[in-house]
Structure 1
Amino acid sequence: MSVIVDYLIILWGFLLIGLMAIGGFFMFRKFLKQLPKQDGKSIMDWERYYMDKTQHMWNENEKMLLEELVSPVPELFRDVAKHKIASKIGEIALEKKKDKITRDVLIEGYIIATPKRDHKFLRKKLHQKNIDITPYEQFFHQSQDDYSKNWRARHKMNE
């Protein structure tokens, strides 16, 4: 009986260490996003800036489309993903000097903001919504694996 208890205690210890390591990893990632970059603002500062600047530009249809496109993301991470994606959409809208967020700007920003591993879900969702992805094909190559370094220059070249 004591051998079983010993194994349970060891198993419980490994489980706790594993869960703390996972939590620590996510906390560390959030900490890194809060660190200021060369311009003096952090990634999260820029996300808030673009959200605040473009909040009035969103129509109900675009909000609903964003909500539908984010639906495959697990519910635990959905709010964070939606905020990050919406800020990238806002950044692109401001860069293009748009008065409002259009469906084209929304899809373009969504594609650029999502990692390549999620593109198959996005393509499937756009296909379900009967949205032709042909005009957006170039943006799939600018996604997170590529865009973090010099994405603005490549984005402008593709326009």
Structure 2
Amino acid sequence: MPNEFFMWFMLLWSVFIFVLMCIGGYFMFRKFLKKMPKEDGKSILDWQDHYIEQTKHLWDEEGKLFLEELVEPVPSLFRDVARDKIKGKIGEVALAEKADVITRDLIIKGYCLGTPKRDHKFLIKKLSEKNIDKSSYNQYLQL
């Protein structure tokens, strides 16, 4: 009887390990695709780093704190990745608008462009808490 139990345990353990490896492989493959160079010779992550580096000096303490509030609901394991992606989009918008400083307006626009549609509900809730009019951001929000 113990031998049969051990065989079932090994089968379930093998399936469990296989599923975990597939999940990890999926996320590694996504990261690999983002690192692949595009037509211009730079990858998505290269451009993201470029925008962050070019606009690093434009951030003030208030903007950093507001961004931290916005990425707060993201699990801590993924928060750094989410923050960098959003910072990259904010930097892209700031460079396009030739901004002198990263304002709350730019942070909200970059957050809308850099996050999936499902996260916009949280942004709307946060804007309501801060008494910020969301009507000027309707073109960026995907409701």
TM-score bin, normalised by smaller chain: over 0.9
Alignment correspondent of 2:138: 137
TM, length-normalised to structure 2:
0.95
Could you tell me which runs of 5 or more consecutive residues in structure 2 were left unpaired when the two chains were aligned: none
- How does 1:10-49 map onto structure 2 within 5 Å? 10-49=11-50
- Please list, as runs of the form range in 1=range in 2, the aligned pairs for 1:97-136 lying within 5 A after superposition: 97-136=98-137
Question: What's the secondary structure of 2:138's corresponding residue?
Answer: helix
- Say which structure, 1 or 2, has more relative contact order (CA 8 Å, 6+ apart): 2
Could you tell me how far 1:135 is from its partner in structure 2?
A: 1.0
Give the number of aligned pairs.
142
Q: Distance in 1 between matches of 2:132 and 2:3?
A: 63
**What's the secondary structure of 1:40's corresponding residue?**
coil
- Say whether 1:95 aligns with 2:96: yes
**1:80 alignment counterpart:** 81
Structure 1 residues not aligned, in runs of 5+? 144-159
Segment drifting more, 107-116 vs 132-141: 132-141
Q: Which has the higher helix share?
A: 1
Give the Å deviation of 1:125. 2.2
RMSD: 1.2
List 4+ stretches of structure 1 deviating above 4 A.
none
**Secondary structure class of the residue paired with 1:140:** coil
With 81-90 and 2-11 compared, the bigger mean Cα shift is at 2-11
